[in-house]
Each structure stands twice: as structure tokens, then as C-alpha cells.
Amino acid sequence: MRSAPVRAMPPMCSSLDASFGATSAGATCNGHRRPRVPELPEVETMARVLHRSAVRHATIDSVKVHRPNVLRDCTPHALATRARGATLKNFWRRAKYVIADLSTGDRLVVSPRFTGSLDIEREGWARGADDYTAIVFAFTDGTALRYRDVRRLGTVALMTPARFADWEAGLGPEPLDPAFTDAIFAANVRSSRRAIKTVLMDQRRVAGIGNIYANEALWLAKIRPSRRASTLTLAESARLFAEARAILSTAVAQGGTSFRDYRDPNGQRGGFLELAKVYSRQGEPCVRCGTMLRSTHAIENRITVWCTKCQK
């Protein structure tokens, strides 16, 4: 699996189209509080499972698009024509997207959003489509890869190398990349006067972190989620970055966090929720000091859980 290049925060005018995937931590989904979205650990798990599976190196025999509205950067006919005969060479992750490199040079870019999944279908799979099947990639060996989406809010794009480079330029650095240094992180987050939790979830500044792991990292670093990012000292910034990296690595090892919908391509649930210190634990005592954990939706209209004593 390849790694993305590290760069400082891209220009605020991003090439990411809002209909394909927001670059920042928007507040609502159709005016309502958002459900839980797969973040770096969940999408990393999806990419790793696919990369280790027989789907990698499989040759696409046909593509059936059941829900054309999930497509970006291509039509159903263009996807079927350009993908047929191509081999899936590599699966990897960029931010909250699963990337599949094709032998033709094109790339599939999948944003699972709230309920999207990439399911591996073994030989002898049922070729019919249920209500949630959006796309089926059938392979010459009799297996298939099915993109399903209960809420139909995820997207699948087919990008040329030039289009992909333009799209990727709108994303921030990867937090688990060793080349992403404390200095770059500090420059990216301390330049904002917004709440530090909002800044952590801004995909132009740090790629892949969402609500779950922002809550956890801020608790571990003892930083109040609503605090202005510009007020962090260099030492606090470095501590936050270290804790964010640690919690993301732990979550990847656990296969991510599963709630109602998330499963990896083999149908397995993630196990991180049992290790969470604050997320979904509002009203419980802080495991560090015993103070009752509080919650609010005041930051980006997302659930924020924190300890009023530990986090300053």
C-alpha cells in the first residue's frame, strides 16, 4: 500500500467538490445532526482488507451500476467501458477515502460516507441486487466486489491521473505519515481561531480525523474541545499530535469503531469502541479523575464529550 505525500495545509479554495466530499467539518446533513461517519481507522481497515484479499490483482469482467447517483467524474457507461479488462493493482487510503489503483492508470475513489461498504463476494455469489446495492464489479475469476450504501450518500469516482492529482491537492497531510512533523501540524492548526476540535476535523489541515477520534485525542491531550486552536502552545500542539497519532494507531489495530452499520469488507466489526475514554460515554465518570463527563452539540452540531476538570 502506498503513502500520500506530506504537504502543509492546501489553499482554502479546495478542488474538492462539495457533492463528492466536504473538506471541512460541516455542521449538518440535510439540516439534521449527522450520524457517525467512517474515519481514518475504519477506512484504513477497509483498504487493508481489500489489499490483502484476492480482489487485489483481480481483472474486471463487467460493471453493473444500480444507483447512478453515487457516481462522480464519470457516467455509468464510462465506468463500465473504462474499467472492463482492468486489473485492480493496489488498494490504499487517502483521508476518509478508499483508493483503488487500476492497471489502466485510472483510480477508483470511494467515499463511504455514513453507510457505504465494499463487500467481497466469493465465487458462486448471488448476482441479483438488493435494495442497497449501488455498483457491482464482477471479476473474471467468478468473484465480485459490491458497493452497498443503505443511506445512498456515499460516492464512487473514476479519476484520471491528472484529475486525481488535482483532487488530492485539496487534502491535508496524513497524521500517521512520519514525514508529517510536529512543526507542520502546529502551523496547520495554530493558524486558526476556530475551536481546536473543529480544526482537527478540517480535512484541509489534517486528513482523516473525524468526530470520534477528535474527542478521544483531545481528552488524552487534556485540551478543551472548544478552545481556540490559536491559543495552543507549541508544547500543547505537540502533545495533541502525539495523542492523535497514538489513538489512530490503536483504532487501526482494533479494526476501527463499529456502531450500527460499519463492517469491513469481510463483514467483521471494529473493536475500538470498548477502548474509548469519552466518546459515547457522556454522563459517566471520567476514568482519569472521576468527574462526570459532559456533552454538547455546540461545536459543528456534532456530539462533543469532555471532562470539565481534566481538559483546559
CATH number, domain of 194, equals 1.10.8.50
135 has a pLDDT exceeding 90: yes
Catalytic residue from among 96, 107, 113, 224: 96
Instruction: Check whether residue 194 and residue 164 sit in a common domain.
Output: no
Residue 29 lies in a domain: no
**Closest by CA position to 56, among listed 83, 87, 86:** 87
Which of 34, 36, 38, 48 is flagged as catalytic?
38
The three three-digit cell numbers of residue 10, written as one number:
492546501
The band of 16, judged by pLDDT with boundaries at 50, 70 and 90, is: very low
What is the structure's pLDDT at 56? 95
Active-site choice (34, 39, 174, 204): 39
Average pLDDT over every residue of 169-174 = 98
Same domain, 148 and 69: yes
Model pLDDT, residue 272: 81
Asked if residue 2 has pLDDT above 70, the reply is no
Asked whether residue 267 is domain-assigned, the answer is: yes
- Overall domain count for the chain: 2
224 is catalytic: no
Residue with the bigger pLDDT between 186 and 122: it is: 186
- Domain harbouring 105, CATH code: 3.20.190.10
Last residue of a domain, one of 142, 168, 194: 168
Look at residues 168, 198, 229 and tell me which one is the last residue of a structural domain.
168
pLDDT in tens, 47-96: 999 999 999 999 999 999 999 999 999 999 999 999 999 999 999 999 99
Ranges of H-type helices in 74-210: 76-83, 161-168, 182-190, 196-200
Which of the following is catalytic: 34, 67, 146, 302? 302
Out of 115, 139, 168, a domain closes at 168
Whether residue 193 lies inside any domain: the answer is yes
Together in a domain, 196 and 148: no
- Is residue 4 included in any domain, yes or no? no
Instruction: Answer yes or no: is 192 within a domain.
Output: yes
Let me know whether 263 and 224 are in one domain.
yes
Range of the domain at 253: 182-306
Question: Which among 241, 225, 183, 254 is positioned nearest to 39, based on CA atoms?
Answer: 254
Backbone angles phi, psi at 157, to 5 degrees: -120, 145
pLDDT band at 235 (very low <50, low <70, confident <90, very high): very high
Identify the bridge partners of residue 158 per DSSP, sorted by sequence position.
Answer: 108
Q: Is the pLDDT of residue 14 over 50?
A: no
Region 19-34: what's the mean pLDDT?
Answer: 44
Q: What is the pLDDT of residues 89-121, one digit of tens each?
A: 999 999 999 999 999 999 999 999 888 899 998
**Do 50 and 163 fall into the same domain?**
yes
Tally Cβ neighbours within 10 Å of residue 297. 11
302 among known catalytic residues: yes
Report the amino acid identity of residue 91: F
Confidence category of residue 137, pLDDT binned at 50, 70, 90 = very high
Q: Does residue 120 sit within a domain?
A: yes
Domain-located, residue 271: yes
Contacts of 259 (CB under 8 A, 6+ apart): 36, 273
Residues 88 and 200 placed together within one structural domain of the fold = no
Cα 102 to the chain's mean position, in Å? 21
Residue at 32 is within a domain: no
pLDDT above 50: residue 23: no
Q: Per residue in 246-261, pLDDT tens?
A: 999 999 998 888 766 6
Q: What is the pLDDT of residue 273?
A: 79
At 128, is the pLDDT very low, low, confident or very high (cuts 50, 70, 90)?
A: low
Looking at residue 17, what is its pLDDT?
42
Residue 127 has pLDDT above 70, yes or no: no
